[in-house]
Amino acid sequence: MYVCVCAGVTDVQIREAIAAGDHSLKALRDSLGIAHNCGMCVKDTRQIMDETLRINAAAYLATELVVTRTEPLPQQQAA
């Protein structure tokens, strides 16, 4: 879906830019040209950015927990 009609930027492009390292509204503005004209896209852009960064952080933490766990899990005791 188009988020910034003025610059012709979609939500997919925003997520791709975030994956490439644009982690702020200013960085997204510089790389994609969003929010330079009317500013109507700022709210949706922030929402997409926050959601994407949260999902990426959760995925990273989950991966780290799996990869760095070296001690065996305790065995369940029979009841």
- State the sign of the Cα–Cα–Cα–Cα dihedral 51, 52, 53, 59: positive
Residue with structure tokens 């305790």?
74
Residue 79 has pLDDT above 60, yes or no: no
Position 73 scores a pLDDT of: 63
Per-residue model confidence as pLDDT tens digits over 30-74: 999 999 999 999 999 999 999 999 998 998 888 876 655 566 666
Position 65 scores a pLDDT of: 67
pTM of this prediction?
Answer: 0.75
What is the chain's alpha carbon radius of gyration, rounded to the nearest angstrom? Answer: 19
In this structure, are residues 14 and 49 in contact, taking their beta carbons and an 8 Å threshold?
A: yes
